Amino acid sequence: MKVIFEYSREGKKGFHIEEEKGRDLLPEDLIRDEVEVLPEVSEREVVSHYLRLSVLNYSVDWGFYPLGSCTMKYNPKVNELVASLFTEAHPLLPEEMVQGYLRIFKDLEEALKEITGLHTFTLAPAAGAHGEFTGIITVKNYLEARGERREVVLIPDSAHGTNPATATLSGFRAVEIPSDEKGMIDLEKFKAALNDKVAALMLTNPNTLGIFEENIKEISRLLHGVGAFLYMDGANMNALLGQVKVADLGVDVIHLNLHKTFSTPHGGGGPGSGPVGVVEKLAPYLPGPRLVEKEGKLRWTGGLGRIRSFYGNFLVMVKALAYIKELGGKGLEEVSRIAVLNSRYLRKKLEGKFKVSYPTETLHEFVLSDETFRDKITTLDLAKRLLDYGFHPPTIYFPLIVHGALMIEPTETESRETLDAFAGAMEKILEEAEREPEVVKTAPHKTPVGRLDEVGAARRPILTWMQYLQEQDQS
């Protein structure tokens, strides 16, 4: 794996900058030397380096990517075209010059309100976890304004790690609530933990097991009874579009992930966008800036504090709005129908040979445990072997409450043929584990690199090319 620095030779250049005549006004002692590690490489070599790197990546456009709770659906191409129309505005331009941009914010806010039934949205958060922070501090702002000191945020043990991390970041203490034998939040234990020190419950629904929290309405009622709020992590919204209005579930705050449910590309880990919706009584406590419309003209106004510079990951919003506009309400409803149909179909196909973690009916995703193969291979082995069959593995070892978990979310954008082929590969690997387990244990065999030494990487971290060169010098 070559890095760009290894192509560098003095005198090459990848971009021409005309030398600017004129005087400098920086004192000598403030000027640095040239940045030594920056390479000198021709455009031709830069292009082939990154092209060669790119083909080492697996991607949604390449194939099936059934990562649970990540919603790796197809990313429509026209959305990229549409976004390319909106790259040029400086964020500090006078609002009257960017009404087209502001209209996109407004249209998307309205669409998300319609989809969820919630009262107000902010589009500023840069990702899901950033949305969680925004939502939880909105609750905190509300409580502080009323002089209430509440310390605790309740979080089920099946929750994504960002939920407890968000509670801490927002200055709360995370208290974990166990799941019951159905894979839902344990209602009795929840009741026992509930008191007037609780600010909110953060509930993912459907949860990370793909199970709809059937007591959600009751949970909301109980929370409201002690003056606490129901926060819904909307990571799994792809199961619910057009099926329920989130507001009807008694949800006070939600974050959505435009890069999951609304089809924008994940970019190898970002950029995302995590809009936050709230009920009316929380709306005044959202961070700013807030968009207001007066006589057809849009402009920005206050809000309570700020969670990032400017207004959000705008280009991600453009793509999500294009997706929503193209599909419309009925199309979005169909998304969830097929997402659930595909997931249930795949579950059914795998159920014979694999153990599904909880018998409860699931929606858009489901979780297998390692019960039927753990004496021969590990979940990691199975995941790595899937790579040899041309599939990206599911999310593994999460949720933590399932032993050797494989969390599978096929999404609506996969064909039945793909689902059948994936199920076939899973079964084939089980057979291999029986007959020739070494092949599975040493997988992958057909990828650009073999299994990588992660322990070594963490023991002696080499995080930059300079560090690598220093190590070379020393040895």
Partner 1 sequence: MSRYIPITPRDREEMLKALGLESEEELFRSIPPDLRGKGDIDIHPINSEAELREYFLSLSRDNTFQDKRIFLGGGAYHHYIPYAVDYLSSRSEFLTPYTPYQPEVSQGTLTATFEFQTYMAALTGLEVANASMYEGATATAEAALMALRIKRGNIAVASSLHPQYRQVLKTYLEKQGVDIVEVPFGEDGKTRLEHLRRFDNLSAFIVGYPNFFGVVEDLDAIQGVLKEKGALLVTSTWEALSLALIKPPGAFGAAIAAGEAQSLGLPLAYGGPYVGFFATLKKYVWKMPGRLAGMTRDSQGRRGFVLTLSAREQHIRRQRATSNICSNEAWCAIRVAIYLSLLGKKGLRNLALLNHRRAVFALDLLRQAGFKPSFSSPFFNEFAVDLGRDAEEFRRSLLSKGFVAGYPLGRDYPNLKNHLLLAFTEMTSREDIKALVKEMEALK
- Restricted to residues 263-302, the positions that interact with partner 1 (CB under 8 A) are 263, 265-272, 287
Would you call 63 exposed, middle or buried from its count of C-beta atoms within 10 A (0-12, 13-18, 19+)? middle
Residue among 120, 158, 207, 313 that touches partner 1 (CB under 8 A): 313
Q: How far is the CB of 322 from partner 1 (least distance, A)?
A: 6
Residue with tokens 């099946």: 158
Interface stretch with partner 1, choices 120-128, 226-234, 276-284, 428-436 (CB under 8 A): 120-128
Q: How far is the CB of 295 from partner 1 (least distance, A)?
A: 15
Residue 108 binds to partner 1 (criterion: CB under 8 A): no
| Measured distance CA(367)–CA(407) in Å, rounded | 4
Residue 452 binds to partner 1 (criterion: CB under 8 A): yes
**Based on CB atoms, which residue is closest to partner 1, 70 or 279?**
70
Residue 326 binds to partner 1 (criterion: CB under 8 A): yes
Would you call 18 exposed, middle or buried from its count of C-beta atoms within 10 A (0-12, 13-18, 19+)? exposed
| Measured distance CA(363)–CA(211) in Å, rounded | 6
DSSP state of 248: G
**Based on CB atoms, which residue is closest to partner 1, 184 or 368?**
184
Residue 137 binds to partner 1 (criterion: CB under 8 A): yes
Residue 360 binds to partner 1 (criterion: CB under 8 A): yes
| Measured distance CA(416)–CA(425) in Å, rounded | 14
| Measured distance CA(344)–CA(394) in Å, rounded | 15
Q: Are 274 and 130 in contact (CB under 8 A)?
A: yes
Residue 202: φ, ψ to 5°: -100, 115
DSSP output for 261-311: TT----TTT------EEE-GGGGGGS-B-EEEEETTEEEEE--SSBSSSSS
Instruction: Check whether the bond before 437 is cis (ω within 30° of 0).
Output: no
How many other β-carbons are positioned within 10 Å of the β-carbon of residue 303?
18
Residue 4 binds to partner 1 (criterion: CB under 8 A): yes
Residue among 178, 187, 299, 334 that touches partner 1 (CB under 8 A): 334
Interface stretch with partner 1, choices 189-197, 222-230, 237-245, 278-286 (CB under 8 A): 237-245
Residue among 189, 197, 299, 325 that touches partner 1 (CB under 8 A): 325
Residue among 120, 122, 162, 261 that touches partner 1 (CB under 8 A): 162
Residue among 169, 283, 421, 439 that touches partner 1 (CB under 8 A): 169
Report 383-442 residues binding partner 1 (CB under 8 A): 383-384, 387, 392-393, 398, 412-416, 442
**Based on CB atoms, which residue is closest to partner 1, 352 or 375?**
352
Report 14-73 residues binding partner 1 (CB under 8 A): 14-27, 29-32, 34-41, 43, 46-47, 49-51, 53-62, 65, 67, 70, 72-73
Residue 450 binds to partner 1 (criterion: CB under 8 A): yes
| Measured distance CA(422)–CA(257) in Å, rounded | 26
Q: How far is the CB of 309 from partner 1 (least distance, A)?
A: 4
**Based on CB atoms, which residue is closest to partner 1, 270 or 434?**
270
Chain centroid to CA 142 = 27
Q: How far is the CB of 131 from partner 1 (least distance, A)?
A: 10
Instruction: Check whether the bond before 444 is cis (ω within 30° of 0).
Output: yes
Q: Are 190 and 228 in contact (CB under 8 A)?
A: no
389's enclosing H/E stretch is none
**Based on CB atoms, which residue is closest to partner 1, 50 or 428?**
50
Q: How far is the CB of 111 from partner 1 (least distance, A)?
A: 6
Name the residue type at position 387: L
Q: How far is the CB of 426 from partner 1 (least distance, A)?
A: 16
# residues near partner 1 by CB under 8 A: 198
Chain centroid to CA 265 = 10
Residue among 64, 68, 104, 286 that touches partner 1 (CB under 8 A): 104
| Measured distance CA(374)–CA(272) in Å, rounded | 35
Residue among 178, 284, 331, 437 that touches partner 1 (CB under 8 A): 331
Q: How far is the CB of 212 from partner 1 (least distance, A)?
A: 5
Q: What is the CA radius of gyration of the chain?
A: 25
Report 177-216 residues binding partner 1 (CB under 8 A): 211-212, 214, 216
Residue 58: closest CA among 70, 45, 72, 48 = 72
Residue among 108, 118, 129, 286 that touches partner 1 (CB under 8 A): 129
Residue 453 binds to partner 1 (criterion: CB under 8 A): yes
**Based on CB atoms, which residue is closest to partner 1, 13 or 434?**
13
Interface stretch with partner 1, choices 192-200, 245-253, 276-284, 371-379 (CB under 8 A): 245-253
For residue 95 the two structure tokens come to: 């609002």
| Measured distance CA(282)–CA(122) in Å, rounded | 12
* Secondary structure (3-state) at 215: coil
